[in-house]
Amino acid sequence: MNDTDTLAALLAGLATGLSLIVAIGAQNAFVLRQGLRQEGVGAVVLVCAASDVVLILAGVAGVGALLERAPGLVEVARWAGAAFLVAYGLMAARRAVVGGRLAVDDRGTRRSLWPVVATALALTWLNPHVYLDTVILLGSVAGSYGDARWAFAGGAVVASMAWFAGLGYGARVLRPVFARPAAWRVLDAAVAVVMLAIAARLTFGG
């Protein structure tokens, strides 16, 4: 394996990782909302990025092959994830109806850190697609690079860390827009639609 092969594998991992993670989904919607609120952003970014690193490395190490032989584990995650997403989606829908605000100075409306971290963990680990995409699919693609598979994994890890950091900390650019309660209604309505749509897909789409 030469430097060219290593670089090619790293860039391929970067592109593949971004293609899998840059999509409108439950996890990204949550990271965006926390970034706008500036509430536990560092913890949320760390949880999501670290979880991705674990899943990526597990896939490259061959755990995906084990999951393919134990579909029951993914099935449990499917139903647990659907139930959680329904609950979260309904809460977002309620916020869209009753209204909300940025609450920059209203510290009393902010949650403690642990519920925020728990939500980030649930949205990551109760999503069966994270096992299908990150562990099985990405792990399979990495395997095609042979000895350069860990360079591929490194590219995917960089993609994940950069995405979550950019989404979480970059959201503050939109804060002037979300200083208006109407903007929060729109965001929460969109989050509710995303969460409930994913839950429906998990429940009825298999």
Interatomic CA distance for residues 163 and 22, integer angstroms:
8
Mean pLDDT calculated for residue range 79-86: 81
Contacts of 107 (CB under 8 A, 6+ apart): none
Separation CA 72–CA 138 (nearest Å): 20
Is residue 189 within a helix (H) or strand (E), and if so which, with residue range?
helix 181-205
Report percent pLDDT > 70 for the chain: 85
Q: Rounded to whole angstroms, how far apart are CA atoms 61 and 188? A: 38
pLDDT tens for 8-19 read 889 988 988 887
| C-alpha–C-alpha distance, residues 191 and 24, integer Å | 10
Model confidence at 205, pLDDT cuts 50, 70, 90, reads low
Question: pLDDT tens, 137-174?
Answer: 788 788 778 888 899 999 999 999 999 999 999 998 88
Compute the mean pLDDT over every residue in the chain, rounded to the nearest whole number.
Answer: 82
3-state secondary structure of 31: helix
Find, among 162, 188, 192, 194, the residue nearest to 37 by Cα: 188
Structure tokens at 95: 């916020």
